[in-house]
Amino acid sequence: MAILKEINPVKTYLGKLSHNTDLLEELTGFCISHNITLGRIDAVGAVQKARLAYYDQENKTYRFFTINRHLEITSLTGNITIKDGKPIVHVHITLADKKGNAFGGHLAEGTIVFACEVCIQVFQGETFKRGFDRTTGLPLWEMGE
Amino acid sequence: MAILKEINPVKTYLGKLSHNTDLLEELTGFCISHNITLGRIDAVGAVQKARLAYYDQENKTYRFFTINRHLEITSLTGNITIKDGKPIVHVHITLADKKGNAFGGHLAEGTIVFACEVCIQVFQGETFKRGFDRTTGLPLWEMGE
Amino acid sequence: MAILKEINPVKTYLGKLSHNTDLLEELTGFCISHNITLGRIDAVGAVQKARLAYYDQENKTYRFFTINRHLEITSLTGNITIKDGKPIVHVHITLADKKGNAFGGHLAEGTIVFACEVCIQVFQGETFKRGFDRTTGLPLWEMGE
């Protein structure tokens, strides 16, 4: 089943992140300071190193790993909703190295910005709150199902 | 030449797909049941296995293949238009395995959702109908060119 | 720091690029001919060959390379702003080969379209002009920081 709710775009932001900052922390910080509790995010740019996670579906736990190289961000997509009463940025990222080989995963803290151009669409409407989902072990949206 | 028509965003949906469903079938089913005939789609999440296609440009035929592993969805992008009078979801997907290595292609039926968060933008305006394109062998939009 | 400015979506385009054209030149040409100076872009499709760039962060220079194969476009994301008084399209791309292996980088001229479906969102608001950034060596947005 697809449980999608109608929401309304109310605002759009475009801009950049400072060099040498933590990619996920900057995105989260911006959403908190601008009171963004529902939205969609995408970005391109480059990182000095990446820290990603892969969700181990069998053991229901994230496996974190670091790619200690300079990489292009070829895509970054995700959303902003609420967890434990605060905005949470959930984004996945695809990266490429100097040979063009691509890598990716769930963006974790520890990914350092070289340059990054970000677009955030802010929505209004249904509240999307993350709560523990027993089937997957993930903090998924509680949508009254 | 770039043949792009102006269209108007009229509605946005955000939500999730159920665990253990077929990713492409769920997206298509939602569009059919909500009468979405023109739109843009993106998603992040994870799959239990992926079935993708690569278009063989020389022989003008899709080559289907399965990646029988648990993978992160690092990007999913595409559109909803009309083919044979019905909504058709055309999306491409990028995936990453536990080592972070990335894979991708044209999303085919047989890709099983572990968890998936989807955003659909519904448009109004020009009708985009897919018809057989002789040059590529693909069902491309007939745009009066 | 995240320096993001509020902008307003004013128009959306959806359509396709002609077979056998240069992907980046077509996108840029469309933006110039339609006077698009601020926007967001995404696309899916396939290319006959790809010419990409990786930014060498140490030596502050782009390293260009060509992938001389038929590839799926699994994601293309980026933006349109102003450089030297003219619209500049800055997009990153992820591609996949017949085995599903993914590649990516900064899209350069020399990438030849097989088929490509494009969505462009046009914005109004703050002017985003690119100027030389000493720290990175890149033409980044001058945002009054």
Judged by CB atoms closer than 8 Å, whether chains meet at B103 and C102 is answered as: yes
Chain B contact for C143 (CB, 8 A cutoff): no
Chain B contact for C62 (CB, 8 A cutoff): no
Q: What is the pLDDT of residues A70-95, one digit of tens each?
A: 999 999 999 999 999 999 999 999 99
Chain A contact for B101 (CB, 8 A cutoff): yes
Judged by CB atoms closer than 8 Å, whether chains meet at C106 and A72 is answered as: yes
Q: Taking residues B110-129, what's their average pLDDT?
A: 96
Q: Measured between alpha carbons, how far is residue A145 from residues A140, A141, B59, C32 in Å?
A: 12, 10, 46, 48
Total domains, chain A: 1
Give chain B's largest Cα–Cα span.
46
CB contact at 8 A, B92 and B74: no
Residue C82 has, within 13 A of its CA and on its CB side, a CA count of: 16
Chain C contact for A49 (CB, 8 A cutoff): no
Question: Å from A20 to nearest chain B CA?
Answer: 23
Provide the pLDDT for residue C145. Answer: 79
3-state SS class at B110? coil
Q: What's the pTM? A: 0.97
Provide the pLDDT for residue C144. Answer: 84
Burial class (CB in 10 A: 0-12, 13-18, 19+), B13: buried
Judged by CB atoms closer than 8 Å, whether chains meet at B6 and C21 is answered as: no
Would you place residue B127 in the very low, low, confident or very high pLDDT band (cuts 50, 70, 90)? confident
Q: What is the pLDDT of residues C86-143, one digit of tens each?
A: 999 999 999 999 999 999 999 999 999 999 999 999 999 888 999 999 999 999 999 9
Give chain A's largest Cα–Cα span.
46
CB contact at 8 A, C41 and C120: yes
Residue the block writes with tokens 């200690």? A68
| Chains with 3 or more CB pairs under 8 A to chain B | A, C
Chain B contact for A1 (CB, 8 A cutoff): yes
Chain C contact for B82 (CB, 8 A cutoff): no
Query: Which residues are CB-neighbours of B129 under 8 A, at least 6 positions away?
Result: B81, B82, B83, B141, B142
Nearest residue of B to residue C17 by CA position?
B2
Question: Å from A14 to nearest chain B CA?
Answer: 19
Nearest to A90 by CA among A99, A101, A81, A100: A81
Please indicate, yes or no, if residue B35 is contained in any of the structural domains.
Answer: yes
Chain C contact for B86 (CB, 8 A cutoff): no
Please indicate, yes or no, if residue C144 is contained in any of the structural domains.
Answer: no
Question: Å from A23 to nearest chain C CA?
Answer: 9
| Chains with 3 or more CB pairs under 8 A to chain C | A, B
Provide the pLDDT for residue C7. Answer: 93
3-state SS class at B119? strand
Please indicate, yes or no, if residue B2 is contained in any of the structural domains.
Answer: no
Task: Give strand pairing partners of C54.
Answer: C63
Query: Which residues are CB-neighbours of A68 under 8 A, at least 6 positions away?
Result: A49
Mean pLDDT value across chain B: 97
Please indicate, yes or no, if residue A20 is contained in any of the structural domains.
Answer: yes
d(CA C99, CA C97): 5
The single-letter DSSP state of residue C21 is S
Provide the pLDDT for residue A145. Answer: 79
Beta strands C86-96 and C71-83, pairing class? antiparallel
Judged by CB atoms closer than 8 Å, whether chains meet at A16 and C140 is answered as: yes
Judged by CB atoms closer than 8 Å, whether chains meet at B13 and A4 is answered as: yes
Beta strands C2-17 and C112-125, pairing class? antiparallel
Nearest residue of B to residue C47 by CA position?
B57
Q: Does the pLDDT at position B126 exceed 90?
A: no
Report, in angstroms and rounded to the nearest whole number, the Rg of chain B calculated over CA atoms.
16
Please indicate, yes or no, if residue C67 is contained in any of the structural domains.
Answer: yes
Q: What is the pLDDT of residues C48-96, one digit of tens each?
A: 999 999 999 999 999 999 999 999 999 999 999 999 999 999 999 999 9
Judged by CB atoms closer than 8 Å, whether chains meet at B140 and C26 is answered as: no
Judged by CB atoms closer than 8 Å, whether chains meet at B96 and A105 is answered as: yes
Provide the pLDDT for residue B144. Answer: 84
Please indicate, yes or no, if residue C2 is contained in any of the structural domains.
Answer: no
Q: Taking residues B116-124, what's their average pLDDT?
A: 97
Would you place residue B94 in the very low, low, confident or very high pLDDT band (cuts 50, 70, 90)? very high
Structure tokens of C119?
A: 């969505």
Chain C contact for B141 (CB, 8 A cutoff): yes
Q: Taking residues B100-113, what's their average pLDDT?
A: 98
Residue the block writes with tokens 């989807």? B118
The CATH number covering residue B26 comes to 3.30.1330.80
Q: Does the pLDDT at position B74 exceed 90?
A: yes
CB contact at 8 A, B35 and B120: no
Residue C35: give the domain boundaries.
7-138
Please indicate, yes or no, if residue A145 is contained in any of the structural domains.
Answer: no
Q: Taking residues A97-112, what's their average pLDDT?
A: 98
* Start-to-end CA span in chain C (Å): 10
Write phi, then psi, for B21 (nearest 5 degrees): -100, 170
Please indicate, yes or no, if residue B144 is contained in any of the structural domains.
Answer: no
Cα dihedral A16, B120, B2, C47 sign: positive
Question: Å from C139 to nearest chain A CA?
Answer: 10
